[in-house]
Chain A
Amino acid sequence: MRHLLSAADLDAGTANALLDTAERLKEALLGREVRKLPTLRGRTVVTMFYESSTRTRASFEIAGKWMSADVVNVSASGSAVSKGESLRDTALTLAAMGTDCVILRHPASGAAHRMSEWVGAHVVNAGDGMHEHPTQALLDAATLRERLGSLEGRRVTIVGDVLHSRVARSNVALLHTLGARVHLVAPPTLLPTGVTAWPVTIGHDLDAALPGSDAVMTLRVQEERMHGGFFPSAREYAIGYGLSEPRAARLPEHAVVLHPGPMLRGMEISAAVADSSRAAITSQVSNGVHVRMAVLYHLLASQEEES
C-alpha cells in the first residue's frame, strides 16, 4: 500500500489485514505500562488540516506518537496558508523537509489524490470535502467486527445526511467490500444524485428499517455544507430521521448504534440512545487510534514498493 486515498481502493484482503493489525495493536497495548512502540522511530508524519477537527486530528497524532513517529501538525489558520500559499506549495515545502507521510484533511474533494501526485511521501486522506474519509470507515468496520464478529451478510443501516457525508461514501464502499448489506435512509433531498448506482438499498422510512438492522449508523447533519432548503426544520428532521429512544427499541437485541461524531444530540440521535449500552460511540473513538496506527504501520513500516 502506497497511499490511503479512498476506501473504495481497498480490496477485502487489504482491508482485513488492516483491521487485523488494528486488533493486534489494541491487544499489544492493553494494560501495558509504556504505551509506546518503537516501530516508526525516525519517521516524520505531518498532519495538514484545512478543516476543523478534534477527533481525527488528535487520533492521528496519538497513533503516530504511540508508534514513536515524529508528528508535526499544520493547520490552515496560523500557517503560511493564511498568507495565501497554495496547497501544492505548502505540500512541496513540507516534502522538502523530509516528511515521510502526509495526512490531509481538505474541504475540496480529491485534494488527497492531487497531493499524492505532488509529493513523494505517503498520503493518507483524512477527509476530502464530500468525497471520502477512509480511516473513519475502517474504524467503523473495526468497531462492528468487535461487536458483531464478522461483517459478512450483516445489515447496516446508514441514516441521515448522506448527500454531504464522506463518512457515508467511505462506509458504503468498505462495508460492501467486506460483505455487509448496506441500507440508506434519508430524506430525498439529502441523497446524492447517482446514489442508485451504489451497492445499497435505499429507503425513507427509518422505523421500517430498524427491526432488520444489525447496526445503525447515524450521520451528522452537516449544516456548514448546507445552504438552506434541505428540510423544513431541525425538529421535523429529528421526528423523521432522528434515532430516538422509542425508535432504538425497535432494533434487535444485539444491534449496535454508531455515530462518527461530532454528535448533535436531539437532532440525529437522542442523548439517551447515544449514552445507552448499545451505542459504540466511544469504542469507535478508541478503535480510531488503533486503526490509524495500523494504517501508519502498513504504509511506513515495510520495504518501499517500487512505484
Chain B
Amino acid sequence: MTSRPGAGAAGAAGQRELLSAADVARTVARMAHEIIEGTAPAEAVLLGIPSRGIPLARRLAARIGEFSGTAAAVGTLDITLYRDDLRRRPTRPLEPTALPVGGVDDAVVVLVDDVLFSGRTVRAALDALRDHGRPRVVQLAVLVDRGHRELPIRADYVGKNLPTSRDEEIAVLLSETDDRDAVVIRRSQQ
C-alpha cells in the first residue's frame, strides 16, 4: 500500500495499521525459516485454521518449499464443531476440512492461525486433531500474538507480538480474502 498511515496515526475508519503488506511478507518469510529450523520440512504438515489460517498456511508452505527445497504438506482443519461457545451464539456455519492425503499420523503438525488471543481456538484445534489421528508433535504458528490468554497455551512461531487492550480488535487482512495484506487494530465493534 502506498498511502500507509504512520504508526500511531488514526486511519479513516478509526483503525491503525500495525503491519504493512511488506511487513507481512517479511514476517511470513521469517516464520518459514523458523519452521524449517524447528521441524524437518519433509515430515511437516501445515494445517490452517479457517478462515485466515488457510491462506497463511499456504503462504508458509510455499516459502518453506522455496527456502528448503522440500515441500511441506498443507491442509485445512475446521474447529467449529469442537468450540466451547457454540451455545452462546447463533448457528455458526462450518468451514472446510481437508487433510493432506497421508493424514496426520506420526507427522509434525504445525497449526497455523492468524491471531492468538484467548487460546480457545487452539484448544478446539487440538481436540479436533486428536480425532483425526496421532501426530508425533504438534506446534503452533501465529502471525500475531495479542495476549489475553485464557488457557495455558503458547505459540512456537510468532510473527509479531502486539500488546492490545481487550476492547481493541486486531484484524489480519490477506489478499486472498481481503483487498490487501495488512494487520490493523481498531476499536471493538461490539
Contact = CB atoms under 8 A, between A and B. Distances in A.
Given A17-B93, A21-B94, A36-B131, A301 B87 contact: yes
Given A24-B78, A33-B132, A297-B91, A39 B86 contact: yes
B131 A33 contact: yes
B164 interface: no
A21 B89 CA distance: 16
A303 B87 contact: yes
Task: Give the contact-size bracket for chain A.
Answer: 20 to 34
Contacts of B97: 24, 27-28
B133 interface: yes
A1 B103 CA distance: 35
A92 B160 CA distance: 57
Interface of B: 78, 81-82, 86-99, 103, 127, 130-133
B78 to A, nearest CB: 6
Contacts of B88: 303
The 6 lowest CB-CB distance pairs between A and B, nearest first, are A24-B94, A302-B91, A34-B131, A28-B97, A39-B81, A301-B86
B79 to A, nearest CB: 10
B103 A28 contact: no
Interface centre among B81, B82, B89, B103 (most CB of A within 10 A): B81
A121 to B, nearest CB: 15
A204 interface: no
Contacts of B132: 32-34
17 contacts: A17-B91, A17-B93, A24-B94, A28-B78, A28-B81, A32-B131, A32-B133, A33-B131, A33-B132, A38-B82, A39-B82, A39-B86, A297-B81, A297-B91, A298-B91, A301-B87, A302-B91
B45 to A, nearest CB: 15
A38 B96 CA distance: 18
Main secondary structure of the interface of A (DSSP, over half): loop
Contacts of A302: 86-87, 89-92
A31 interface: yes
Contacts of A152: none
Contacts of B94: 20-21, 24-25, 28, 297
A191 interface: no
Contacts of A25: 81, 94
Given A24-B78, A28-B81, A33 B133 contact: yes
Nearest to B76: A27
A31 B90 CA distance: 29
Contacts of A32: 131-133
Contact of B95 (A24, A36, A301): A24
A34 B95 CA distance: 19
Nearest to B134: A33
Contacts of A36: 131
Interface string A78-103: 00000000000000000000000000
B86 A21 contact: no
Nearest to B130: A34
B92 to A, nearest CB: 7
A6 B103 CA distance: 40
Interface in A282-307: 297-298, 301-304
Contacts of B81: 25, 28, 37-39, 67, 297
A232 B99 CA distance: 56
Nearest to B78: A28
A24 B96 contact: yes
B83 to A, nearest CB: 8
